Amino acid sequence: MNININNSPILNKNVELSKLLVGQRLTVEVISTDRNQQGLVSLGGKIHPAKIEAEVKPGDRFLAAVRETNGQEIILSRENINGRITGLSNEQFILLLNRGLGIDSKILLLLNQFTQSTDTALMSILMTKSPDLNNLARNIWKSIPQWAEINGQTFNYLVKYYYLLGLEHERDIYELYKNDARQKETNEPSVKEQILLLLKEHAGKLPIQQKEYLELLLDKITAQQMWIQTGARENAYFLMHIPLQSNGTIYNCRIAVESSRKGNKIDVDHCHIAIEVETENLGIIGADLRLFEQRLQICLLNNDTDLHPLLETIYESTKERFTNLGLILDNITIKTFEENPQFANFIAGQFVSGVDFEG
């Protein structure tokens, strides 16, 4: 799929009411409103009083234009983008805008498929017996982190995984594919590079289903490249899907992070992290972590197993481990996934939280 992922203008960064201009367009989230459509809205993560010339309710997100402003309050007119932007709905348009990506239905499709997809294509390639895909399968196995590498103190396995996928040298892959150049002997090909070459040089002999699996995996890698960027909102947000392996078995892991920003970087001292991982003995485990000024709160999520006995066993050692990392563990709570419905939305890319990490 050929797409353009160039950044679109950031409309909501560091919004100040005193500097707003009539006609300026903003992405808006409604916090509260009364029958006169007077209320509070979130602009770039900051709460401001506003009147909206449209029928809205708390939680609505849309593009709006400034009708009037006096520096203390604004009047907003809701923009109707349906039909104007290639048939995209307001929610779809806002998603692309928040990610800082071009307004393109193909990009939207990739983003949504990534959050909803299963790993059928990945598993099929890993278990292949096709001679054409053996080298690719071997490189994918090599790139997938081992459970034993996960210790909470280093993230080298993540860097290595995404590098081997091909996310770190996209331009080199593009030039290789475009110019029909041959792989340099000194460089081991990335997974993405191998897929592109297979689709280009072996497309005629590959079975239809194998070709579809390769295209699906290529789309997922491309979408991961877009989701791992921090977006264009006041708070940074990124989403990662990481397979883990242990004794030849693959376990899926999803990680979502929202944080305030420090220049072009995320602020690791003020962040919200969601982790969902498949385990061998405990089923699917979720962890909802909130970190503010070295103080950490954790909510563990699980539907299949009572985690309380396990927590009692490991609580003190876990607290000590965080202390060694310079963090104070305030508490750990346990809930089912149903008792924390915001978790599922947050880890699926629906990241509107309105959280002010500055307190």
> CA 328 → CA 146, 268, 331, 332, distances in Å?
28, 14, 9, 12
Q: What is the pLDDT of residue 168?
A: 61
Nearest to 25 by CA among 66, 55, 69, 70: 66
- Summarised one tens digit per residue, pLDDT across range 101-137 is 777 788 889 999 999 877 889 999 999 989 999 999 9
Q: What is the pLDDT of residue 64?
A: 83
Residue 246, pLDDT > 70, answer: yes
146 secondary structure, DSSP code: B
Q: What is the pLDDT of residue 205?
A: 86
Q: Which two tokens stand for residue 187?
A: 């460089």
Of the candidate ranges 183-192, 318-327, 342-351, the one whose mean pLDDT is the lowest: 183-192
Averaged pLDDT for residues 243-252: 93
The structure's pTM equals 0.75
Q: What is the pLDDT of residue 309?
A: 92
275, β-bridge pairs = 255, 287
Q: What is the pLDDT of residue 235?
A: 83
- Summarised one tens digit per residue, pLDDT across range 184-236 is 444 668 899 999 999 988 878 899 999 999 999 999 999 998 898 888 777 88
Q: What is the pLDDT of residue 265?
A: 79
Q: What is the pLDDT of residue 260?
A: 86
End-to-end alpha-carbon separation of the chain, Å? 43
- Summarised one tens digit per residue, pLDDT across range 274-320 is 999 999 889 999 999 999 989 999 999 999 888 999 999 999 999 99
Q: What are phi and psi of 331, to 5 degrees?
A: -165, 160
Q: Which two tokens stand for residue 52?
A: 């909206």
CA geometry: angle at 23 spanning 83 and 354, to 5°? Answer: 80
- Summarised one tens digit per residue, pLDDT across range 65-94 is 888 887 778 888 887 665 455 567 777 877
- DSSP assignment of 11-70 equals SSTT--GGG--TT-EEEEEEEEE-TTSEEEEEETTEEEEEEESS---TT-EEEEEEEEE-
Q: Which two tokens stand for residue 127?
A: 């278990």
Q: What is the dihedral of CA 265, 259, 353, 117, to 10 degrees?
A: 80
Q: What is the pLDDT of residue 251?
A: 94
CATH topology of domain 236-346: Transcription Regulator spoIIAA (3.30.750)
Locate all alpha helices (DSSP H) within the chain, ordered by sequence. 90-99, 105-116, 120-126, 134-143, 156-165, 170-179, 191-201, 208-227, 308-324, 341-346
Q: What is the pLDDT of residue 77?
A: 85
| Contact criterion met (CB below 8 Å) for 21 and 64 | no
Higher pLDDT, 284 or 37: 284
Residue 181, pLDDT > 80, answer: no
Tell me the domain boundaries of the chain. Answer: 17-102, 117-227, 236-346
Residue 151, pLDDT > 80, answer: no
Distance CA 53, CA 11 (A): 20
Q: What is the pLDDT of residue 171?
A: 46
Residue 352, pLDDT > 70, answer: no
Res. 12 pLDDT band, cuts 50 70 90: very low
Q: What is the pLDDT of residue 208?
A: 92
| Contact criterion met (CB below 8 Å) for 148 and 275 | no
Averaged pLDDT for residues 29-48: 84
Q: What share of the chain has pLDDT > 70, as a percent?
A: 83
Q: What are phi and psi of 87, to 5 degrees?
A: 80, 10
Averaged pLDDT for residues 153-171: 73
Q: Which CATH number fits domain 17-102: 2.40.50.140, 2.40.110.10, 2.40.50.100, 3.50.30.60?
A: 2.40.50.140
